[in-house]
């Protein structure tokens, strides 16, 4: 497949987009408006309020840089692959610094609330059919118009192994919704700690890439929260826009599962919003203003739309996935990504998706307008879930990368 390098991007017709990406990176420590989200609104209610644009993950970063420079990384990855369950002891033989860090990083914070986690499972059980599509076509597509993330993903190893990367990210969305996500037998703590290690690896490796601007460290605390909002906050916003009825305990539970994920990924507690209202307020400062197209992000979005191309699932065609993206993300983002309106599915979604959800959720008992579309929408969700589950059946191991793209 043809892929753009930054140099090609700058030289060819998509040059303007490449320039936007490069500018976003050089301007990354500047903010249009000063950071003013208060740590009083965080899950711990206090903090020093430093701008997260200037913060990284020093505990993980020094340990992981040392492992990459001095340890036998393939051997470490072999050991990491055997560590799967939250309550499983760490494998013997890991470098001491790494093992000490992992013991520390796997601890749940004092504010963990088991009752809320039980409600989170209820939420995931009831909304599971929507969640797979939303993680892919709300959060996944959004990641392609988050310039820092699109560039980091594109120029890291995952950028050239996108299917593998999507499957691993899907596992993250799946693990967080399982019955014992953070308990014995669950896998979410392990997935988060490994991901935290991978992000530290990226901070060490990516600045060595010839494509990466000098003096810029990827994946700041601000970037982490932006991505967090592209997941948790965006999904809650979308379900709310669709008028899916969600009991308060379940929406609070879902938030809690993501607060814990944030903590275990190394986001400082003072940046983790305490409520959905505070999450929304933070996203308005952090996420909404920074969305923009880049040549790299557009290439990733293009690959994401081809997800179903070699499958036997007729409703996962490029056209239908594109129509879904336009419907969920809106015309502005779809136009950035050069996703055309689809002649059948775009109008159908606009007219019938609302009633479909209302009928499915038992809010409406009959809605003649959705008779035929009901079947198609239901089948779409089912085919998506089939694909999703098939991807998850492959053995997946989150590994420390050795190289960039």
Nearer CB in complex with ligand HEM: 27/372: 27
Residue 165 within binding range of ligand HEM, rule CB under 6 A: yes
When the beta carbons of 207 and 354 are compared against ligand HEM, the nearer one is 207
The vertex-384 CA angle with 134 and 347, nearest 5°, equals 70
Phi, psi torsion values for 280, nearest 5 degrees: -60, -45
At residue 216, the 3 state secondary structure works out as coil
Verify binding: residue 158, ligand HEM, rule CB under 6 A.
Answer: yes
β-pair partners for 42: 273
Among 169, 221, 285, 383, contact with ligand HEM (rule: CB under 6 A): 169
Q: Print burial letters for 274-307: b (CB count within 10 Å at least 16), e (below 16).
A: bebebbbebbebbbeebbbbbbbbbbbbbbbbeb
Burial-class residue 55 by CB neighbours within 10 Å (0-12, 13-18, 19+): middle
190 lies in the binding site for ligand HEM (CB under 6 A): no
Question: Is there binding between residue 233 and ligand HEM (CB under 6 A)?
Answer: no
Q: For ligand HEM, which is the closer residue by CB, 233 or 346?
A: 233
Closer residue to ligand HEM in complex, CB, 31/165: 165
228 touches ligand HEM by CB under 6 A: yes
Contacts of range 203-210, beta carbons closer than 8 Å, 24 or more positions apart = 203/56, 203/57, 203/61, 203/65, 204/61, 204/64, 204/65, 204/68, 205/68, 205/156, 205/401, 205/403, 205/404, 206/152, 206/155, 206/156, 206/404, 208/404, 209/155, 209/404, 209/405
The whole-angstrom separation of Cα 36 and Cα 88 is: 41
- Give whichever of 148 and 204 is closer to ligand HEM, judged by the CB atom: 148
Q: Which is nearer to ligand HEM, 94 or 352 (CB)?
A: 94
Q: Is 199 in contact with 68 (CB distance < 8 Å)?
A: no
Q: Which of residues 269-308 bind ligand HEM (CB under 6 A)?
A: none
321 vs 398, beta carbon nearer ligand HEM: 398
Q: Which residue is nearest to ligand HEM (CB)?
A: 158
Under 8 Å between Cβ of 117 and 256: yes
Minimum separation from the CB atom of position 9 to ligand HEM (A):
18
Over the window 380 to 399, marking each residue x when it contacts ligand HEM by CB under 6 A and - when it does not, the resulting string is: ------------------x-
Number of residues that bind ligand HEM (CB under 6 A): 25
- Single out the segment in contact with ligand HEM by CB under 6 A; choices: 79-87, 133-141, 216-224, 249-257: 216-224
- Residue 195 contacts ligand HEM per CB under 6 A: yes
Nearest of 32, 45, 34, 30 to residue 271 by alpha carbon: 45
Residues in touch with ligand HEM (CB under 6 A):
148-149, 152-153, 156-158, 165, 168-169, 172, 195, 198-199, 202, 218-219, 223-224, 227-228, 231, 265, 398, 401
């Amino acid at each position: 497949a043809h892929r753009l390098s930054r140099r090609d991007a700058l030289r060819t017709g998509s040059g303007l987009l490449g320039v936007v990406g490069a500018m976003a990176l050089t301007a990354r420590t500047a903010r249009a408006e000063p950071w003013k989200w208060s740590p009083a609104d965080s899950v711990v209610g206090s903090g020093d309020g430093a701008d997260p644009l200037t913060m990284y993950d020093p505990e993980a970063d020094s340990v992981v840089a040392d492992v990459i420079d001095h340890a036998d990384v393939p051997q470490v990855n072999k050991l990491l692959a055997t560590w799967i369950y939250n309550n499983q002891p760490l494998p013997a033989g890991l470098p001491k610094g790494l093992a000490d860090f992992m013991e520390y990083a796997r601890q749940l914070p004092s504010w963990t609330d088991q009752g809320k986690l039980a409600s989170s499972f209820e939420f995931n059980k009831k909304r599971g059919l929507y969640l797979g599509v939303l993680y892919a076509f709300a959060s996944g597509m959004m990641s392609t118009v988050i310039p820092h993330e699109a560039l980091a993903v594109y120029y890291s190893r995952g950028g050239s192994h996108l299917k593998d990367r999507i499957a691993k990210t899907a596992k993250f969305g799946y693990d967080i919704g399982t019955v014992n996500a953070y308990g014995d037998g669950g896998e979410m703590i392990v997935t988060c700690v490994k991901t935290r290690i991978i992000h530290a690896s990226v901070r060490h490796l990516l600045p060595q890439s010839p494509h990466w601007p000098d003096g810029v460290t990827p994946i700041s605390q601000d970037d982490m929260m932006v991505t967090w909002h592209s997941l948790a906050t965006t999904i809650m916003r979308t379900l709310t826009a669709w008028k899916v009825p969600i009991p308060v305990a379940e929406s609070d539970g879902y938030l809690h599962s993501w607060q814990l994920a944030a903590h275990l990924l190394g986001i400082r507690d003072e940046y983790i919003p305490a409520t959905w209202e505070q999450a929304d307020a933070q996203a308005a400062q952090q996420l909404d203003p920074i969305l923009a197209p880049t040549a790299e992000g557009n290439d990733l979005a293009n690959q994401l739309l081809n997800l179903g191309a070699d499958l036997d699932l007729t409703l996962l065609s490029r056209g239908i996935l594109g129509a879904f993206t336009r419907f969920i993300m809106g015309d502005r983002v779809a136009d950035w990504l050069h996703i055309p309106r689809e002649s059948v599915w775009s109008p159908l979604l606009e007219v019938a998706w609302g009633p479909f959800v209302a009928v499915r959720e038992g809010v409406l008992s009959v809605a003649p307008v959705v008779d035929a579309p009901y079947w198609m929408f239901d089948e779409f969700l089912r085919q998506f879930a089939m694909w999703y589950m098939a991807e998850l059946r492959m053995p997946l191991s989150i590994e420390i990368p050795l190289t960039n793209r």
